[in-house]
């Protein structure tokens, strides 16, 4: 596979051992110890995924994430030093696909990276779903409203696809974690909430009054076609 991963982490030991671990898992790794430099590297070559620490010199992880999301849908996994609700939510709202809190086990990081990358893999053989002026093309990995293409991250796309495939069905957060993030019971339902928020921001006419992705109070979410 040899996917190319950009690792931005300021602690030299963590950077080195994580690079080593990812390389042994079969990834090609470019690493950087500083936010600004990491962003420059990201723009110089093509990466399949970015692993981003929050606490970074010159430009923090949130800023780097924001910059990347301005013109790229490359998957991002954030490394947070704290399991602070606030940190996690900020990262997810900025468009990170997943997060890991330190300290983490290397195999877990590898597993999450693989799960995120699997999401970006096209799902051929699936036909185009058209609802409410929205065209979802699983093979082409694109979403259109009329002529206009809507840029979604792999996570957002997968989430939309899972919901839109079975309109009217109520999805619990746990089920979505399983379907989209490939997590078992132990995943964090905030991942789902933050991703739904972002997705609504992109596909709903009025994200404050969502018509397509409805919240089912106390349960989860439901896709309403028209």
Partner 1 sequence: MPLRRRLTIAFGLAVGLTAVALAAGSYFVVRHNLLRDSVKSSAKQARKNLTLAPSYLPGTKNLLDAYTRTGGFETIGFVGDQSFASKLFLEPKEVPASLRRIVGRGQLGYQRETVSGTHYLIVGGPAGDAQLYFFFSEQGLRHELAVLRNILLAGGGLLVLLAVLGGAVLARQTLRPVARASAAAHSLAEGLLETRLPVEGQDEFGGWAQAFNEMATALEAKISALSAAQARERRFTADVAHELRTPLTALVGEASLLSEHLDRMPDQSRRPAELLIADVGRLRRLVEDLMEISRLDAGAEAVQPEAVDLASATGAILRARGWDGRVRLDTEKTIVTTDPRRLERIVANLVGNALEHGGDGVVIRVGRDGARAFVEVADQGPGIPPDHLSHLFERFYKADPARSSPGSGLGLAIAQENARLLGGEIEVWSEPGKGSRFTLRL
Q: Which residues bind partner 1 (CB under 8 A)?
A: 11, 13-14, 17-18, 20-21, 24, 81-85, 102-107, 184-186, 188-190, 218-219
Report in angstroms the alpha-carbon separations of 60 from 55, 83, 87. Answer: 6, 17, 12
Whether the CA torsion 49, 24, 19, 55 is positive or negative: it is positive
Residue 197 Cβ, how far from partner 1 at the closest point, in Å?
A: 15
Residue 54 Cβ, how far from partner 1 at the closest point, in Å?
A: 12
Q: Which is nearer to partner 1, 135 or 178 (CB)?
A: 178
Q: Which is nearer to partner 1, 18 or 163 (CB)?
A: 18
Residue 77 backbone dihedrals phi, psi, to 5 degrees: -115, 120
Residue 139 Cβ, how far from partner 1 at the closest point, in Å?
A: 35
Q: Which is nearer to partner 1, 106 or 150 (CB)?
A: 106
Q: Which is nearer to partner 1, 130 or 170 (CB)?
A: 170
Contact between 195 and 98 (Cβ < 8 Å): no
Sheet with 129-131, side-by-side order of all strands: 129-131, 134-137, 142-145, 148-150
Q: Which is nearer to partner 1, 9 or 67 (CB)?
A: 9
Residue 67 Cβ, how far from partner 1 at the closest point, in Å?
A: 24
Which parts of the chain are beta strand (E)?
4-8, 28-32, 49-53, 76-80, 98-101, 129-131, 134-137, 142-145, 148-150, 170-172, 213-216, 220-223
Residue 105 Cβ, how far from partner 1 at the closest point, in Å?
A: 5
């Amino acid at each position: 596979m040899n996917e190319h991963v950009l690792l931005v982490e300021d602690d030299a030991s963590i950077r080195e051992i994580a690079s080593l671990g990812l390389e042994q898992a079969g990834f090609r790794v470019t690493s950087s110890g500083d936010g600004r430099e990491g962003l420059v590297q990201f723009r110089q070559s093509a990466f399949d995924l970015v692993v981003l620490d929050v606490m970074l010199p010159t430009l923090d992880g949130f800023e780097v994430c924001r910059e990347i999301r301005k013109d790229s849908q490359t998957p991002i996994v954030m490394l947070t030093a704290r399991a602070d609700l606030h940190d996690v939510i900020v990262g997810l709202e900025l468009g990170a696909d997943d997060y890991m809190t330190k300290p983490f086990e290397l195999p877990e990081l590898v597993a999450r990276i693989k799960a995120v990358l699997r999401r970006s893999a096209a799902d051929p053989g699936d036909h185009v779903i058209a609802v409410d002026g929205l065209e979802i093309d699983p093979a082409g990995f694109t979403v259109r409203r009329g002529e206009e293409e809507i840029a979604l991250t792999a996570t957002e796309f997968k989430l939309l696809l899972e919901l839109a495939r079975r309109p009217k069905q109520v999805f619990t957060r746990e089920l979505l974690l399983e379907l989209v993030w490939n997590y078992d019971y132990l995943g964090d339902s905030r991942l789902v909430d933050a991703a739904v928020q972002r997705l609504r921001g992109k596909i709903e006419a009025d994200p404050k009054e969502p018509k397509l992705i409805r919240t089912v109070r106390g349960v989860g979410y439901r896709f309403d076609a028209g």
